Amino acid sequence: MAIITKRLPEMNWERRSSEEIKKRVFQALAENRNYRNEDVLGFPATYLDEVEFYEDAPFLEQAAFLSAFLANPNHIGCHTLGEDQSEQAFKGTQRLEIEVIRLCAEEIFEGEKGKQDGYIASGGTEANIEAMWIYRNYYREAFEANDKEIAVVYSKDSHYSIAKGANLLGLFSVPLDVKEGTREIHSDAFRKALQSAIAEGLRYFIVIMNMGTTMFGSVDDIDLITAVLEEEGVPFRMHVDAAFGGFIYPFSKGKSAYSFQNKHITSIALDAHKLLQAPYGTGIFLIRKGWMQFVRTEEASYVPGKDYTLCGSRSGANAVAVWMILMTYGSKGWRAKMDMLMAKTESVCNRLKHAGISYFNNPYVNIISIPASEIPEKVARNYFLVPDTHDESPSWWKIVVMPHVKNGMIDRFIDDVHGFKQMTFK
- Tens-place pLDDT, residues 380-405: 999 999 999 998 899 999 999 999 99
> What share of the chain has pLDDT > 70, as a percent?
96
Where is pLDDT greater, at 43 or 413? 413
Residues 321 and 362 placed together within one structural domain of the fold: no
Residues 275 and 342 placed together within one structural domain of the fold: no
Q: Annotate 198-214 with DSSP letters as a single string.
A: HHTT--EEEEEEEBS-T
CB 14 within 8 A of CB 78: no
Where is pLDDT greater, at 227 or 41? 227
pLDDT category, 6, cuts 50, 70, 90? low
For the chain, what is the mean pLDDT? 92
| pLDDT tens track for 98-133 | 999 999 999 999 999 999 999 999 999 999 999 999
Domain edge (last residue) among 303, 329, 355: 329
pLDDT category, 421, cuts 50, 70, 90? low
pLDDT tops 60 at residue 4: no
If one counts the domains in the chain, the total is 2
Q: In the beta sheet, which residues pair with residue 119?
A: 285
Q: What is the pLDDT of residue 50?
A: 82
* Residue 253 exposure: Cα atoms within 13 Å on the Cβ side: 23
Q: What is the pLDDT of residue 8?
A: 57
Q: What is the pLDDT of residue 79?
A: 95
Q: CATH number of the domain that 277 lies in?
A: 3.40.640.10
Q: CATH number of the domain that 373 lies in?
A: 3.90.1150.10
Q: How far is CA 59 from CA 17, 53, 54, in A?
A: 19, 13, 11
| pLDDT tens track for 59-98 | 778 889 889 999 999 999 999 998 887 888 999 999 999 9
Residues 153 and 179 placed together within one structural domain of the fold: yes
